[in-house]
Amino acid sequence: MPPRKLCLARQLERRPCNHKATKSTSTESGRKGRRRLHNDARKPLPPGLYLDWQQYRARRPGQPWTYFGTDYVAAVAAYAAWRYQGGSARDVAWLIDRFVGQFCPDRVKAKTMSARTARDYLRDSPIVKKGLGHIPIAALAPKHIAKFRDTRGLAAPAHVRNEMACLSSALSWAVEAGVVPTNVAKEVRRPRKSVRERLVTDAEYLAVHAVAGASVRLAMVLCVRTLGLPADVLRMGRRNLVRYDDGRQTMRFKRGKTGVAVEIEIIGELAAALEPFLSPPTLHPTFVRREDGKAYTVDGIGAMFRRCCIKAKVADFGLRDLRAKGATEMYRADPNNIRKIQLLLGHKSAQTTEIYLKGLLAEIVCPNERPIIAEVLK
């Protein structure tokens, strides 16, 4: 019995496979194997850069593949520098690609530029290249930049300032590198940044808070008490807690925008909001999280907050506005305590805090009560 089974097994192994049939079927369908597609609208790839499983790669004709890692932002920046490496075209597109692909990553590694600033420049670079990329650097004039500003300002008035900042920073680097003699972008006036003229009232805050869910309520309290941006609030968790020997407990973190370290004592309403996460301790990495335990994105929590505003019939109110509301209330309570507000906002300079607060709240002064001369002479 055992030899018979062995013989059948050997016969099956020696039986030829119908590879030709499989190949002909593939040929009849007009395809040579199935090609995987990696199309993500949130992570568009420039022409020539491909995603192979987790690795981004590109190659020149007749040369092996060059890999740029798994991080999308770093890969796109590195590909831009690699693409124009050794090139002779000295136009604005070449300059922007060299700036965001080589100079910015080097400064991030040297810790002289924040990673967020590098990502912002990378995000704005396609718009700059689309509008001015075809112009040679030597021929770039203020009139070209002014035309770009006016045209782009009609389509995206809130972003044209950032795009002009990207161009100006690239030209400043080009001046230091000896590519151009001057930064012509500094000769063009940037559009004035719009300042919010209306602050969120207590009634509006309470109306939205009443209809919001637990996660949105916690995000609102953290924003107004820590003066944090939504991105900072979403990263807060038990890893940020610090307990001292005298019983005090603080929350220590870095502002994502400025990188300034902030340590806030957990007292009052902030302590009451975080109490469910402190006793008993939670195992989740963040305080503000979804029902399934996963972390929110800034867009996700912002969309939930907007729905709460619509339900509460409150317009012109965003989650990031609570940072301005909290800073303004502290300033109204004690105008001389600029230093404390500066630490909470994460500003590197007290002068920045003063400009920020004066932009939010006009300084209140006393009226002229000096008696009129004519009335005195009566």
Residues 225 and 317 in one domain: yes
Phi and psi at residue 34, to the nearest 5°: -90, 125
Residue pair 135/88 in contact by the 8 Å Cβ criterion: no
* Model confidence at 362: pLDDT above 90: no
| Residue of 259, 270, 181, 160 whose CA lies nearest to 223 | 270
Q: Is there a domain that residue 10 lies in?
A: no
Instruction: Tell whether 265 is covered by a domain.
Output: yes
Distance CA 135, CA 141 (A): 9
pLDDT at 358: 65
SS (H, E, C) 68-103: CCCCHHHHHHHHHHHHCCCCCCCEHHHHHHHHHHHH
Alpha carbon of residue 13 to chain centroid: 58
Q: How far apart are CA 298 and CA 321, in angstroms?
A: 14
- Whether 169 maps to a domain, the answer reads yes
- Could you tell me if 148 and 288 lie in one domain? no
Question: Is 266:276 a contact under the CB 8 Å cutoff?
Answer: no
Q: Is residue 78 part of a domain?
A: no
Higher model confidence: residue 207 or residue 17?
A: 207
Say whether pLDDT at 55 is over 50: yes
From 129, 153, 187, give the residue that closes a domain.
Answer: 187
* Secondary structure class of 310 (helix, strand, coil): helix
One domain, residues 226 and 161: no
First to last CA, the chain: 136
- 209 and 156 share a domain? no
Q: Measured between alpha carbons, how far is residue 178 from residues 43, 144, 175, 304, 370 in Å?
A: 34, 21, 5, 49, 61
Q: Is residue 9 in some structural domain?
A: no
Q: Which residue has the tokens 């006009």?
A: 362
pLDDT more than 70, % of the chain: 80
Identify whether 33 is part of a domain.
no
**Token code pair at residue 244:** 């001292």
The enclosing domain of 103 has a CATH number of 1.10.150
Q: Tokens in use for 256? A: 């994502």
pLDDT tier at 145 (50, 70, 90 boundaries)?
A: very high
Q: How confident is the model at residue 217 (pLDDT cuts 50, 70, 90)?
A: very high
Place of tokens 């300002």: 153
pLDDT above 70 for 233: yes
Q: Is the pLDDT of residue 30 over 70?
A: no
pLDDT in tens, 180-202: 899 999 999 988 766 555 678 88
CA–CA distance, 161 with 192 (Å, rounded to integer): 8
Domain boundary among 131, 152, 187: 187
What is the 3 state secondary structure string of 256-314?
Answer: CCCCCEEEEECCHHHHHHHHHHHCCCCCCCCCCECCCCCECCHHHHHHHHHHHHHHCCC
For the chain, percent of residues with pLDDT exceeding 90: 17
User: What pLDDT band is residue 42 in, cutting at 50, 70 and 90?
Assistant: confident
Of the listed ranges 124-138, 190-204, 252-266, the least confidently predicted one is 190-204
Of 64-78, 101-115, 127-141, give the range with the top mean pLDDT.
Answer: 127-141
Residue 31 confidence (pLDDT): 44
Count: domains in the chain:
2
Going by C-alpha positions, the residue among 204, 172, 206 that lies closest to residue 186 is 172
**Quick one: pLDDT band at residue 8, thresholds 50, 70, 90?**
very low
- Shared domain for 241 and 161, answered yes or no, is no
Q: For position 148, what pLDDT does the model report?
A: 93
Question: Over the chain, what is the mean pLDDT?
Answer: 79
* Same domain flag for 282 and 182: no
Q: Domain for residue 117, yes or no?
A: yes
Total length of the chain = 378
Residue 66's CB: how many other CB atoms inside 10 A? 13
Show the domain range for 182: 84-187
Q: State the average pLDDT over residues 237-245.
A: 87
**CATH no. for residue 338?**
1.10.443.10
Check whether residue 297 and residue 176 sit in a common domain.
no
Q: Tell which residue, 162, 91, 88, 155, has the closest CA to residue 125.
A: 162
Q: What is the pLDDT of residue 220?
A: 93
DSSP code for 113 = S
For residues 177 and 260, state if they share a domain: no
Which residues, other chains included, contact 198 with Cβ-Cβ below 8 Å and sequence gap of 6+?
316
Could you report the per-residue pLDDT of 320-351, keeping only the tens digit for each? Answer: 888 888 888 888 888 788 888 888 888 878 88
Reply yes or no on whether the pLDDT at 24 is more than 60.
no
360 or 54, greater pLDDT: 54
Is residue 323 within 8 A of residue 206, CB to CB? The reply is: no
CA–CA separation, 368 and 375 (whole Å): 15
Residues 331 and 295 in one domain: yes
Q: Which of 193, 247, 204, 256 is nearest to 226 (CA)?
A: 256
Q: What is the pLDDT of residue 194?
A: 60
User: Cα(98)–Cα(78) distance, rounded to whole angstroms?
Assistant: 9
Give the end of a domain, one of 187, 220, 249: 187
Q: What is the pTM of this model?
A: 0.57
Q: Which of 28-42, 115-129, 236-250 has the lowest mean pLDDT?
A: 28-42
Are residue 234 and residue 356 in the same domain, yes or no? yes
pLDDT band at 375 (very low <50, low <70, confident <90, very high): low
Q: Is the pLDDT of residue 281 over 90?
A: no
pLDDT band (50, 70, 90) for residue 34: very low
Q: What is the mean pLDDT of residues 354-369?
A: 67
- Same domain as 301, residue 223: yes
Q: Do 217 and 165 reside in the same domain of the chain? A: no
363: three-class secondary structure by DSSP: coil
Does the pLDDT of residue 277 top 70, yes or no?
yes
CB 248 within 8 A of CB 292: no
Is position 62 within any domain? no
Using an 8 Å Cβ cutoff, are 232 and 335 in contact? no
DSSP letter, residue 346: T
Containing H/E element for 55? strand 55-58
